[in-house]
Amino acid sequence: MIVTPPLADPAAGAPLADAAAWVVAAATGELATGAATLAVAGLGLLLLQGRLPLRRAGRALLGCFLIFGAGPVAAGLLHAAAATSEREAVADLPAAPPPRLAAPAQPEEYDPYAGAAVPVR
């Protein structure tokens, strides 16, 4: 007798995490790297022919950098944040804020525009 799990049971892993990992693998995998390489080569050819504005080519290159560089940059930032949080202990905040200082009294005829901004005649 073959025992199979029921179809109504949820999957063993986390389906949203698996879907996100698949999207990341599709966006930065070998096929995406090849497509980005061909796109950069095409941009270079169009730039050499003078048929593509420099700003548009720069945007495309920046997009490739953001797509392929986001993972390592985020991993480095998380690693740096974890290292600093383990190294430094957070100081305790004081229980109450310091007392409020009283503002000096304003003269009765207070003119905020009088002074150096007004020319002397």
pLDDT of residue 3: 64
**By the 8 A CB rule, do 52 and 46 touch?**
yes
- pLDDT, average across residues 32-36: 92
Query: Does any domain span residue 7?
Result: no
Number of other residues whose CB lies within 10 A of the CB of residue 42: 13
Query: Does any domain span residue 54?
Result: yes
pLDDT of residue 47: 93
Residue 49's domain spans which residues?
Answer: 33-79
pTM of the model: 0.50
pLDDT of residue 104: 82
Query: Does any domain span residue 102?
Result: no
Contacts for 39 with CB less than 8 Å, ≥ 6 apart: 60, 64
SS3 per residue for 94-108: CCCCCCCCCCCCCCC
pLDDT band for 7, please (50, 70, 90 cuts): low
Q: Does residue 21 surpass a pLDDT of 80? A: yes
- 75 membership: H or E segment, kind and range: helix 54-87
Number of structural domains the chain divides into: 1
Q: Does residue 90 surpass a pLDDT of 70? A: no
Query: Does any domain span residue 88?
Result: no
